[in-house]
């Protein structure tokens, strides 16, 4: 620690700020070493958040170690000269309920953490902030890069990459590299995997890491953002004390670390950046790439923006073009493609930054089969819209649209809600600060004003100029992701003009089409009735309302200690129950309304349930185009169907009060039309809604990994859930007559309304909103409050450990195990409170033990899993390295080790290391990486504006809705969990804590109830690993000038007897070269060099043996195990029958 605040340069900035930041103070400073730091004093939150961005990423990787920047990011957490303990930052921060992470992009690497300012260390003389900052800052001064950790972190990088290979968005981004010029830096793979990071020995890789760090981790290449409740002066002192000695040069690094200087004259960092300015980002002769991707039908239209990067307001011009083309209101391009022509189910327009200013404007279209067949016309319609609607519109009309969108953008910024966690926010600020290209005053809002003093005509001309220059057939590149390569016929009929191959990194089959043109461009009818977007007048009036709400001075808000007040029941009768909560705080302008309508006399048959889902699709499809602009100003609305597996419809709205009320009533008016049966009268609309429902159910069936084991757990343990397979069968039989009968019968089926109003509603609004939401059913019974679902959760019998193996789908790339410990009833508050304490202990010990020490997987998830009436704790691991048996065995060894360690604790150890840190976390919102706590928490709308909000206020509201729907009324919990009995925990002793552990957790307990859901990886994992090994061997053989293709190497690997380590590959290779009569002396020399590289690669332990499906194993630890079978979903898997469980 060194430096003085007197040496700090203060940079005066008048920041543009939203209303929610009115209680904050900002200061931008620059330290003598060149480090720039943005300080944010925020007394409304106790959270202390810090982000450091380094201006170097995968673009600086050397060619023989792709992924080096990513590996460096991982290695910094594994010990420094001053803080040598691996993962010490993770342990301290997570034990205090905080969160730490990092990520690497093409140009930047970002490290961040967040923790409560009031968390205590065991040594009370040390403030946690000082301790955490000492470790965090040492990352950028003196990392150790110990060789013994390198192999483990290569495995972690590889696991991370494997998780990307099933992600359609990641696949499409990687496919853009196929279009890039071979000499352009964007063409290279950036994440890294075993193959790319195993081309050189760990010893040499250690040298690369040190050289990379010394060259690029310099203060002048960094930007820091620090936010907390401390004063600006205090924050400045913290920055000076911990970051002022970050080196300015590579030689300073050497002096600080005490290590010798690592020469990098033979390491060619960022080799392709030297000729970057002379290299176009896209290849001129490759216009189309087709990808074979399962369960996907998406077209990506790519338009390079290099020709307009020098225009004033370039960034905002790109945003305006995205807004106009992506607008989904009536008479828009999107509405035409989706509703009128039924060519698309979704359209998204965005500007994708690749590196520096090489941006691409992307139009992503999820095409229907009809849309794919008519792809030339889809593209021509887009070009027509640009050339006739945008380019040829009158300057006044286009200027009006620009003004509207600018007003919407400003309104959204001014009304920006306070985030649940500040990590994403401060990382954005740090990225902008490091990258530059934006005025300091715009750091917070992220965009600039239109050119000061520039006329609107000039802005219009620039936008039209940009549209003309960018959206041309010559500029267009096309990526098609489909379940097969049949769309190839749209682009060429000449086999000589395309090349088919398999991607080395993502293992998808792809075809590059050379100098392609779509076979036919069909000019659409010029009377398309398309228009520029027009924001409705009522919404314009709301946007133009610039009234500022006076905010009172805010003192410390200790997280959840000042959480929302509990709902009050203001009315109930045989038809409804009305709840209201009036919150006070910085977010009072946002209102939340949720209505749940239960059709009590409708049976929960698969036919009725899918009928309600189809009706929900029809209602949402009818509404979303008219409500689109309300979504733009931040209003969320969503319609959910069949919550808890019973016939019902749930509507939830969140946003500014006037907008929320308008949207709520608009949807409600459509719901009231259900009784008319009109939604079943249009066959084409019914057909489309049924297709969308089928697609959603099939996506559930095709789930893999974590989502699959979670879904299976709910189906096993929850009573009465309808299987997706049964829904598909019912959907196939559903026709318009059936739907009309279901629709007309809904409002006659004793509808029961549950309404929660959350916000600053007037007395008049509290009267007429409930009246409009009640669906009177004519009943005059004395029954009042809804009794909730009579369905319960199955209980695993005491003392039973039951295994539930799933047969993995072909494209499952990881073996995934969910290890579930059943604890008890949700109503047992003391037992639940103990379980949350124990789960907190798991949250920061499991990752360290199972990932870092045992190296099982890149991610380890822990959490509490809630069912309707019961709950438990889970540990979930997806691994591409180890089979399911190994994973479950290691989890049990970890639990045994944890129990042994706890038995060695003293009472003081227990209170200071476990209990008190957890009690401190109760005053803050949990923000460590976690999975949804239960089905209700994971619900997303069938139709609406998008996924439900994740901010703390909405999550509190959603938790209250959960309690009301289930008629439990235990308010006060968060994220759909139960409230914690703090008084019970404060009196808890070590012996009592251990008694619970020995009963519910210990592998030796005769009372423990455990469920292991294991999903085995599909055959694709074996092929992917074999392909990685083939690429590695092929690269090494090429260096020895041996003539062989990668495909031939892959075939030889398939002939190996050892399908795990391929230890006999040398035999097959020698035979191949001998048969092909290649120079014997050359082979002898080459193999001498090749053997060392091969065995180093084999030492990385690429486990590639296709193991027996876990469905062929039975590894129940004790008890009766499975007493029978049942066909769950479309998987050929074992399942416990209902009689094997207790209610």
Mean pLDDT of 85-95: 91
Residue 867 has pLDDT above 60, yes or no: yes
Minimal CA–CA distance to 329: which of 525, 532, 542, 619?
A: 532
Please give the pLDDT value at position 272: 57
Residue 431 has pLDDT above 90, yes or no: yes
Q: Is residue 24 part of a domain?
A: yes
Using CB atoms within 10 A of its CB, is residue 1108 exposed (0-12), middle (13-18) or buried (19+)?
exposed
Tokens 């004390």 correspond to 241
Give the orientation angle of helix 147-164 with respect to helix 202-216, to 10 degrees. 80
Instruction: Decide if 38 contacts 26 (C-beta within 8 A).
Output: yes
**1041 and 1116: one domain?**
no
SS3 977: coil
Q: Is residue 859 part of a domain?
A: yes
SS3 2: coil
Using CB atoms within 10 A of its CB, is residue 558 exposed (0-12), middle (13-18) or buried (19+)?
middle
**233 and 209: one domain?**
no
Q: Which of 113-117, 291-295, 512-516 is predicted with the least confidence, judged by mean pLDDT?
A: 512-516
d(C-alpha 480, C-alpha 366), whole Å: 10
pLDDT band for position 1024 (50/70/90)? Answer: low
pLDDT in tens, 793-818: 889 999 999 998 887 776 677 899 99
Q: Is residue 98 part of a domain?
A: yes
Residue 199 has pLDDT above 60, yes or no: yes
Token pair in block for residue 285? 């002769």
d(C-alpha 759, C-alpha 417), whole Å: 14
Residue 991 has pLDDT above 90, yes or no: yes
Per DSSP (E only), the strands in 472-607 are 477-482, 498-502, 509-514, 568-572, 576-581, 590-599
- Exposure b/e, 676-715, CB count within 10 A at least 16 = b: ebebbeeeebbebbbbbbbeebeeebbbbbbbbbbbbbbb
Give the range with max mean pLDDT: 848-852, 980-984, 1033-1037: 980-984
pLDDT in tens, 869-902: 899 999 999 988 888 999 999 999 999 999 999 9
Within 10 angstroms of residue 177's Cβ, the number of other Cβ atoms is: 17
Token pair in block for residue 622? 């009818």
Instruction: Decide if 423 contacts 385 (C-beta within 8 A).
Output: no
According to DSSP, residue 522 is labeled P
**126 and 205: one domain?**
no
Q: Is residue 568 part of a domain?
A: yes
Instruction: Decide if 504 contacts 1027 (C-beta within 8 A).
Output: yes
Q: Is residue 926 part of a domain?
A: yes
In order of 102, 258, 1070, the CA distances from 86 in angstroms are 15, 19, 43
d(C-alpha 193, C-alpha 158), whole Å: 4
Q: Is residue 946 part of a domain?
A: no
Strand 576-581 to strand 109-116: parallel, antiparallel, or no bridges (unpaired)? unpaired
SS3 589: coil
Minimal CA–CA distance to 975: which of 865, 832, 1076, 1117?
A: 865
pLDDT in tens, 659-674: 999 999 999 999 888 7
**496 and 529: one domain?**
yes
**458 and 394: one domain?**
yes
SS3 39: strand
pLDDT in tens, 31-76: 999 999 999 999 988 899 999 999 999 999 999 999 999 999 999 9
**153 and 135: one domain?**
no
Instruction: Decide if 303 contacts 470 (C-beta within 8 A).
Output: yes
pLDDT band for position 749 (50/70/90)? Answer: confident
**468 and 587: one domain?**
no
SS3 580: strand
Residue 579 has pLDDT above 70, yes or no: yes
pLDDT in tens, 683-717: 888 888 999 999 999 888 888 788 899 999 998 99
**672 and 720: one domain?**
yes
Residue 1057 has pLDDT above 50, yes or no: yes
Domain assignment of residue 12, given as a range:
1-56+80-142+218-248
Mean pLDDT computed over every residue of the chain: 83
Token pair in block for residue 1003? 């592998």
**995 and 1082: one domain?**
no
Q: Is residue 590 part of a domain?
A: yes
Q: How far is CA 867 from the centre of its chain?
A: 24
Using CB atoms within 10 A of its CB, is residue 360 exposed (0-12), middle (13-18) or buried (19+)?
buried
Residue 440 has pLDDT above 80, yes or no: yes
In order of 626, 1039, 1132, the CA distances from 785 in angstroms are 36, 77, 43
Minimal CA–CA distance to 920: which of 81, 98, 49?
A: 98
**873 and 910: one domain?**
yes
pLDDT in tens, 582-618: 765 544 578 999 999 999 889 999 999 999 999 999 9
Please give the pLDDT value at position 142: 94
According to DSSP, residue 482 is labeled E
Give the range with max mean pLDDT: 277-281, 535-539, 602-606, 1027-1031: 602-606
**642 and 655: one domain?**
yes
Report the run of H or E that residue 769 belongs to, with start and end.
Answer: helix 763-773
> 354: domain CATH number?
3.30.830.10
Count the domains in the chain: 6
Minimal CA–CA distance to 168: which of 490, 504, 476, 506?
A: 506
Mean pLDDT of 639-658: 93
Q: Is residue 911 part of a domain?
A: yes
Mean pLDDT of 783-798: 68
**29 and 162: one domain?**
no
Q: Phi/psi class of residue 705: alpha, beta or left (left: φ > 0; alpha: ψ in -120 to 50)?
A: left
Minimal CA–CA distance to 903: which of 17, 895, 634, 1122?
A: 895
pTM: 0.82
pLDDT band for position 449 (50/70/90)? Answer: confident
């Amino acid at each position: 620690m060194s430096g003085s605040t007197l040496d700090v340069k203060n940079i005066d900035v008048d920041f543009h700020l939203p209303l929610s930041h009115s209680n904050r103070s900002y200061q931008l400073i620059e330290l003598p070493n060149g480090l720039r730091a943005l300080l944010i004093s925020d007394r409304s939150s106790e959270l202390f958040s810090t982000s450091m961005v380094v201006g170097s990423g995968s673009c600086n990787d050397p060619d023989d170690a792709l992924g080096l920047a990513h590996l460096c990011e991982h290695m910094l957490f594994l010990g420094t000269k001053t803080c040598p303990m691996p993962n010490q930052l993770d342990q301290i921060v997570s034990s205090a309920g905080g969160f730490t992470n990092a990520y690497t992009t093409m140009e930047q690497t970002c490290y961040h953490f967040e923790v409560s300012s009031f968390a205590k260390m065991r040594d009370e003389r040390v403030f946690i902030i000082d301790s955490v900052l000492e470790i965090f800052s040492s990352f950028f001064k003196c990392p150790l890069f110990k060789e013994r950790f390198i192999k483990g972190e290569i495995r972690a990088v590889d696991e991370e990459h494997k998780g990307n290979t099933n992600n359609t968005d990641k696949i499409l981004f990687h496919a853009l590299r196929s279009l890039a010029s071979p000499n352009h830096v964007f063409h290279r793979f950036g994440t890294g995997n075993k193959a790319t990071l195993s081309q050189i020995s760990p010893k040499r890789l250690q040298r690369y890491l040190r050289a990379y760090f010394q060259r690029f981790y310099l203060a002048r290449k960094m930007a820091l953002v620090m936010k907390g409740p401390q004063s600006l002066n205090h924050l400045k002192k913290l920055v000076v004390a911990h970051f002022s000695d970050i080196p300015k040069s590579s030689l300073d690094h050497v002096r600080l670390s005490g290590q010798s200087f690592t020469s990098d004259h033979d390491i060619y960092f960022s080799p392709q950046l030297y000729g970057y300015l002379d290299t176009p980002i896209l290849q001129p002769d490759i216009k189309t790439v087709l990808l074979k991707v399962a369960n996907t039908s998406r077209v990506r239209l790519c338009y390079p923006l290099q020709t307009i990067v020098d225009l004033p307001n370039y960034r905002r011009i790109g945003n305006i073009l995205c807004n106009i083309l992506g607008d989904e209101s009536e008479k828009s391009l999107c509405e035409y493609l989706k509703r009128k022509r039924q060519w698309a189910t979704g359209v998204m327009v965005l500007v994708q930054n690749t590196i520096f200013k090489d941006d691409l404007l992307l139009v992503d279209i999820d095409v229907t089969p009809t849309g794919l067949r008519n792809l030339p016309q889809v593209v021509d319609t887009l070009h027509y819209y640009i050339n006739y609607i945008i380019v040829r519109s009158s300057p006044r009309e286009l200027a009006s649209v620009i003004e509207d969108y600018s007003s919407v953008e400003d309104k959204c910024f001014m009304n920006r809600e306070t985030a649940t966690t500040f990590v994403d926010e401060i990382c954005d600020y740090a990225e902008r600060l490091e990258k530059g290209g934006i005025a300091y005053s715009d750091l917070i809002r992220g965009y600039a004003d239109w050119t000061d003093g520039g006329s609107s005509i000039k802005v219009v001309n620039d936008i039209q100029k940009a549209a003309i220059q960018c959206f041309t057939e010559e500029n267009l590149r096309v990526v098609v992701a489909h379940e097969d390569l049949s769309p190839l016929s749209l682009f060429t009929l000449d086999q000589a003009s395309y090349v088919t191959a398999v991607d080395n990194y993502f293992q998808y089959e792809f075809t590059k089409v050379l100098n392609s043109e779509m076979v036919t461009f069909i000019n659409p009818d010029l009377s398309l009735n398309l228009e520029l977007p027009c924001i409705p007048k009522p919404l314009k009036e709301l946007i133009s309302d610039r009234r500022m709400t006076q905010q009172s001075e805010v003192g410390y808000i200790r997280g959840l200690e000042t959480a929302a007040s509990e709902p009050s029941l203001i009315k109930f009768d045989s038809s409804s129950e009305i709840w209201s909560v009036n919150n006070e705080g910085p977010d009072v302008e946002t209102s939340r309304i949720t209505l749940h309508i239960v059709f009590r006399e409708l049976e929960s048959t698969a036919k009725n349930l899918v009928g309600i889902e189809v009706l929900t699709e029809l209602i949402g499809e009818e509404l979303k185009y008219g409500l689109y602009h309300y979504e733009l100003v931040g209003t969320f609305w969503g319609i959910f169907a069949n919550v808890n597996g019973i016939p019902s419809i749930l509507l939830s709205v969140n946003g500014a009060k006037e907008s929320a009320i308008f949207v709520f009533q608009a949807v409600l008016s459509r719901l009231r039309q259900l009784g008319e049966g009109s939604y079943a009268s249009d066959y084409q609309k019914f057909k489309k809604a049924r297709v969308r429902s089928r697609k959603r159910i099939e996506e559930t069936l095709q789930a893999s990994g974590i989502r699959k084991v979670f879904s299976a757990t709910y189906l096993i343990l929850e009573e009465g859930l309808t299987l997706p397979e049964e829904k598909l069968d019912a959907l196939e039989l559903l026709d318009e007559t059936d739907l009309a009968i279901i629709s007309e019968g809904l409002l006659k089926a004793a509808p029961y309304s549950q309404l929660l109003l959350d916000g600053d509603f007037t007395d008049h609004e509290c009267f007429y909103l409930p009246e409009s939401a009640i669906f009177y059913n004519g009943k005059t019974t004395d029954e009042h409050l809804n009794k909730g679902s009579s369905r319960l959760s199955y209980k695993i019998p005491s003392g039973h450990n039951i295994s539930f193996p799933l047969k993995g789908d072909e494209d499952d790339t990881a073996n995934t195990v969910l290890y579930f410990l059943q604890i008890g009833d949700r109503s047992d508050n003391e037992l639940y409170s103990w379980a949350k304490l124990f789960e907190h202990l798991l949250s920061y010990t499991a990752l360290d033990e199972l990932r870092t020490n045992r190296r099982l997987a890149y991610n380890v998830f822990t959490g509490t899993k809630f069912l309707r009436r019961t709950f438990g704790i889970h540990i979930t691991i997806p691994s591409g390295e180890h089979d399911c048996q190994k994973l479950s065995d290691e989890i049990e060894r970890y639990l045994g080790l944890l129990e042994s360690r706890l038995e060695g604790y003293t009472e003081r150890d227990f209170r200071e290391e476990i209990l008190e840190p957890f009690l401190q976390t109760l005053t803050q919102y949990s923000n460590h990486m976690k999975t949804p706590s239960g089905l209700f928490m994971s619900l997303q709308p069938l139709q609406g504006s998008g996924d439900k909000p994740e901010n703390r206020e909405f999550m509190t509201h959603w938790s209250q809705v959960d309690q009301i729907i289930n008629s439990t009324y235990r308010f006060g919990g968060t994220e759909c969990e139960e409230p914690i009995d703090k008084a019970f925990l404060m009196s808890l002793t070590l012996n009592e804590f251990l008694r619970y552990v020995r009963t519910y957790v210990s592998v030796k307990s005769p009372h423990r109830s455990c469920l292991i859901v294991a999903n085995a990886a599909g055959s694709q994992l074996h092929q992917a690993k074999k392909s990685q090994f083939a690429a590695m061997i092929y690269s090494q053989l090429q260096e020895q000038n041996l003539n062989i293709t990668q495909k031939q190497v892959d075939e030889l690997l398939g002939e190996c007897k050892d399908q795990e380590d391929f230890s006999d590959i040398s035999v097959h290779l020698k035979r191949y070269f001998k048969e092909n009569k290649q120079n014997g002396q050359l082979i002898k020399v080459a193999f001498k060099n090749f053997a060392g590289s091969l065995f180093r690669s084999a030492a990385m332990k690429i486990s590639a043996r296709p193991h027996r499906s876990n469905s062929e194993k039975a590894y129940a630890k004790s008890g009766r195990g499975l007493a029978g079978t049942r066909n769950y979903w479309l998987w050929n898997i074992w399942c416990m029958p209902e009689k094997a469980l207790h209610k």
